[in-house]
Amino acid sequence: MAEKTPREQKVYTLLVEVGRHAGDGLPEGSTGAALMCYASGVDEAEAVRETVAILKQADLAPLDVTGYGTRAEREAEGHKIEEAEGALMQRALDENSVVVAQMTPFFDGDGQP
């Protein structure tokens, strides 16, 4: 039987919308949040599955995931990747992990708690 060659890991940019869940650590009065994540995977589907699983372990309630592709795909679409963002992507790749780069809480009404 032939040995399987490991498939190359890539980093995907994901925007995850989460709802409220007991113990989620989101600000009081918020209705949920958007999380910008960088996740490693052999494909985007694996990156999404891993991200959702990790967020659930952190008592968050993922509702929707939007994938923006790999760094190369984003750059091909004209996205400018800043040095700090590139460093977070590299960290996700090096650690074969999910890095939550930014969290923006949602509030009803005028955006104030």
Task: Give the mean pLDDT of 86-112.
Answer: 89
Residue 96 has pLDDT above 90, yes or no: yes
CA 104 – CA 94 distance, rounded (Å): 26
Per domain, the residue ranges of the chain are: 10-106
pLDDT tens column, 11-61: 999 999 999 998 899 999 999 999 999 999 999 999 999 999 999 999 999
Q: Write the CA distances from 40 to 26, 37, 72, integer angstroms.
A: 25, 10, 14
